[in-house]
Amino acid sequence: MGIGLPFLNSKPLTLTFKIPINGFSRFFEELKNGRVMATKCRGCGKLYFPPVAECGECFSSGMDWVELDGEGEVEAFTHVVVRPESFKRNPPYTLVVARLKEGVKVFAKLSNVDLAEVRVGMKVKLKTKIVGDEAIYEFTPV
């Protein structure tokens, strides 16, 4: 069929994908209950945060949910002044990467602290918080 030939447009096609959240809905449920969860491989014991369904070390898909205590130490931080559109109404905020005592690194906002007090090595704790109808996690100083 050549481009110059007469043609009709078909009805628009809509593709809908079913994206499985089954494996991770537990994470969000537990967050609402005040618990931050990781997954731990039954095969080799590696701990994952954010949770994963399959182990990248031994390729096992046997994972257990484990609650993180949330205590950790800041390894890196940045202060965000130029915010994305969706955060424009919020004041500038600080983001940190902290290594938890369980060994995993967590990237999250650090609240309830002045920027001048933030240090690498600072002790922080992961807390959950309900914002609107969503549960989130963030760090606060210990």
Asked if 49 contacts 27 with a C-beta cutoff of 8 angstroms, the reply is no
Per-residue contact track with Zn ion, 77 to 116, x per CB under 5 A? Answer: ----------------------------------------
| 56-75: contacts with Zn ion (CB under 5 A) | 57-58, 60
Interface pick for Zn ion out of 36, 37, 55, 135 (rule CB under 5 A) = 55
Q: How far is the CB of 25 from Zn ion (least distance, A)?
A: 22
Question: Whose Cβ is closer to Zn ion: residue 47's or residue 118's?
Answer: 47
Interface pick for Zn ion out of 41, 63, 106, 110 (rule CB under 5 A) = 41
d(CA 124, CA 126): 7
Task: From 10-18, 51-59, 86-94, 107-115, give the range in contact with Zn ion by CB under 5 A.
Answer: 51-59
d(CA 141, CA 69): 14
How many residues line the site for Zn ion (CB under 5 A)? 8
Question: Whose Cβ is closer to Zn ion: residue 30's or residue 54's?
Answer: 54
